[in-house]
Amino acid sequence: MNTFLSRLNTLFAFSISVVAAVTFACFLTTHFLDYTQDVEIEVKKAIVKNMEEFYVGEKHDLGHLRFSLKANMTPVFNWNCKELFLYLMAEYETPRNKINQVVLWDKIINRGENAVLDLKKVHAKYYFFDDGSELRGKNITLSLHWNVIPNAGYLWRVKGRQDLGYTLPDSYAGSRV
């Protein structure tokens, strides 16, 4: 009984040590890799409206975008990358806020799934409300980012190599010129 328990103890301790070592090796072998990729973004249609934002109770500018997105994420995956959380971000400046960042669309790609993105003229997933009514005529920068979720290690946030500058319409949709 004694030797059985002590053997079990040794086995358990050894297993834990091995798992810890392999986890650390996983982390170390992938920590210094370059996770950037080329990205192609196109805006197909954009309009600006003004309506009441849910919860907020105020009328704010709302942007409607249709965009196309092309990127190949396959080279980014490795044995330590279990998921990529991709998000398309619009950045712009207004008189009220120096920095505005709004996530318009996101996608989860797990290791093993098809990692080639080829979206054509899709709608944004999330509402593009401004913190005010300052979207008309604004220059926005659209960029694709991804969060590398490892099996164990650092949570990198990577920006695609290319981004797109776009100018939103000067007037509200449906209003007279």
- How distant, in Å, are the alpha carbons of 41, 70, 73, 86, 161 from that of 115? 16, 11, 5, 11, 17
Of residues 97, 139, 167, 171, which one binds other proteins by CB under 8 A?
Answer: 97
Q: Using the rule CB under 8 A, give the single segment among 35-43, 44-52, 145-153, 162-170 that binds other proteins.
A: 145-153
Q: Is 96 in the site for other proteins (CB under 8 A)?
A: yes
Which x/- pattern, by CB under 8 A, does the window 66-85 give for other proteins? ----------------xx-x
Cα–Cα distance measured from residue 24 to residue 12, given in angstroms and rounded to the nearest whole number: 18
Q: Is 63 in the site for other proteins (CB under 8 A)?
A: no
Of residues 157, 161, 162, 170, which one binds other proteins by CB under 8 A?
Answer: 157
φ and ψ at residue 116, rounded to 5 degrees: -95, 120
For 30, the 3-state DSSP assignment is helix
- Output b/e per residue, 44-53; b: 16+ Cβ within 10 A: eebebeeeee
Q: Is 23 in the site for other proteins (CB under 8 A)?
A: yes
Of residues 1, 32, 98, 174, which one binds other proteins by CB under 8 A?
Answer: 98
Of residues 21, 51, 56, 116, which one binds other proteins by CB under 8 A?
Answer: 56
Torsion, Cα 110 113 118 123, to 10 degrees, reads: -50
The arrangement of strands across the sheet holding 139-150 comes to: 81-92, 139-150, 157-167
**Residues lying near other proteins in the complex (CB under 8 A):** 23, 55-56, 82-83, 85, 87, 89, 96-103, 106, 108, 110, 126, 131, 145, 147, 149-155, 157
